Amino acid sequence: MGEQNHVYDLAVSFAGAQRDYVEQVVEACGELQLSVLYDRDLTIELWGRNLITGFRKAYGGERARYVAPFLSHEYLTTPYPMDEFMAMLVPALNNPDDYILPVLVGDVTVPPELLSPAVGFLRMEDFTPWELARAFRLRITGSGSGPAPLAGASTTVESTARALRVPVTTPENFSRYAELESSFRYLTEQFKKAAARMSESGFVCTVRNSDSELRVRVEQRGRTLYGIDIQLGGMGRDDVLNFVVGQRLQAGRNRSNGTASPVFDRATRTPRLEMHDLSVFGGGPSTRSFSKEELFEELWNRIVDQVQQLADRF
């Protein structure tokens, strides 16, 4: 089957840290009758094909009338989003004022060679996902100098001068305890899935869990090389994930190598885990923010690094 030739109103390009927010924007755009090219919608279409080439076509003027890069610190330092952005610049040379609709995230500074300071932009923090979707609709269907609307697309522009900024607050339904339990379940599921990978290198990884504690141990020939306990609550608190690491761990909640607290990140408008690290990752005390996916990856990479070092000593 050949490639689809459907032309979308808009294509969105973003780093993984902004996925939750962007996905809400895409859903809102759909409700406003805008067709949006979103990477997960291309999963089947690009199955078995070169992803880099496929996405370059998507963002290089062949698949969408406009593109919206969500320019964040993560975006500017990640290869795939930057490859998409470079693809956007080619058609933008011929149509500089009517192709790229940039959205800046946080306090990011975009180098002038990538985005001219004279180009207008919106800031993600100034809009809810629904408000930003409305802004896209107004810009795309209401631009007098832009391309003609696609057949069947609505050309009605809602009567508002501009989207007004509103305070960014934590949602009323945000629950620290619900996020805590969701993160604990996610880490448990991911460690169980990943454990079998250790056997590929001659190690044994066991994962045991109860409703409130997860224990991961890595052995080689019966010798424990690394262990980590993740507890729901600890050190006198019930609103944190408590981490205890080492080669030989004892049951109990009177130790801590670090804790993670659920917070609502107003910049990305998504739940995050604020990690107060004492020695989980091997460095000095620090505080960093993770999504639960990022936290698992960091924990797993730390285990692999430690196991490799210890195994080489024997």
Enter the pTM of the model. 0.51
Verify that 125 and 204 share a domain, yes or no: no
Domain count, the chain: 2
In a domain, 180, yes or no: yes
CA–CA gap between residue 194 and residue 198 (Å, rounded):
8
Verify that 122 and 181 share a domain, yes or no: no
Verify that 12 and 125 share a domain, yes or no: yes
Verify that 199 and 280 share a domain, yes or no: yes
User: Is 78's pLDDT higher than 70?
Assistant: yes
Half-sphere exposure of residue 301: CA atoms within 13 angstroms, side-chain side: 8
What is the residue range of 212's domain? 176-312
User: Is 149's pLDDT higher than 50?
Assistant: no
Verify that 195 and 68 share a domain, yes or no: no
In a domain, 2, yes or no: no
At residue 168 the predicted structure's pLDDT band, cuts being 50, 70 and 90, is confident
For residue 312, the SS3 value is helix
* Domain end marker among 142, 165, 190: 142
Verify that 132 and 213 share a domain, yes or no: no
Verify that 116 and 210 share a domain, yes or no: no
Verify that 304 and 243 share a domain, yes or no: yes
Lookup: tokens for 11? 């294509």
Contact 64, 140 (CB under 8 A): no
**What are 286-311's pLDDT values in tens digits?**
899 999 999 999 999 999 998 888 87
* Domain end marker among 142, 168, 188: 142
Lookup: tokens for 49? 């094909």
At residue 136 the predicted structure's pLDDT band, cuts being 50, 70 and 90, is very high
User: Is 145's pLDDT higher than 50?
Assistant: no
Verify that 137 and 218 share a domain, yes or no: no
